[in-house]
Amino acid sequence: MMGNAEHPWLTVVGLLVGAVAFGFTPLAMAWLWARIYSPQKQGAEKNATYECGLESKGDSWTGFGASYYIYAIVFLVFDVEVVFLLPFAVAFTGLSAGACLAMLVFLLLLVEGLVWAYQKDVLTWA
């Protein structure tokens, strides 16, 4: 039995120290090796943020065009609506008046978006 009667946790402490040393010894050796055999050579290019070979131009704090929201709205109108329309059509005969009204309000909101998009000439192809 390895344990000490006065200090029953001594084995665990020993194991803990061993476990930490097992993790840190390779790290310490790598650090020591790098100190001796890997001279640091810093440079403007080496420390540059961009790593595609090109020089970065301008400031990263620029404005982004928000016009993509139009596609998001049209996507909602044509795509997400269908997802809800299909179960609505299947369960139509068994629906209560309240459920039907809620669904029509939902449709109205989306049709509103369609009218708005139509007025903005978003629906033209060319």
Restricted to residues 34-63, the positions that interact with other proteins (CB under 8 A) are: 37-41, 43-46, 48, 51-55
Q: What separation, in Å, do the N-terminal and C-terminal C-alpha atoms of the chain show?
A: 86
- Give the Cβ contact number of residue 91 at 10 Å: 11
- Stretch near other proteins under the rule CB under 8 A, chosen from 13-21, 33-41, 78-86, 94-102: 33-41
Q: Please, what is the minimum distance in Å from the beta carbon of residue 34 to other proteins?
A: 11
Give the interface size with other proteins as a residue count (CB under 8 A). Answer: 15
Q: Exposure string (b/e) for 5-34, b if CB count within 10 Å is 16 or more?
A: eeeeeeeeeeeeeeeeeeeeeeeeeeeeee
**CB nearer other proteins, residue 38 or residue 124:** 38
Q: Please, what is the minimum distance in Å from the beta carbon of residue 42 to other proteins?
A: 9
- Stretch near other proteins under the rule CB under 8 A, chosen from 21-29, 32-40, 59-67, 70-78: 32-40
Distance of CA 50 to the CA centre of its chain: 21
Find the angle CA(41)-CA(46)-CA(49) to the nearest 5 degrees.
140
**Which residues in this chain contact other proteins in the complex, by CB under 8 A?**
37-41, 43-46, 48, 51-55
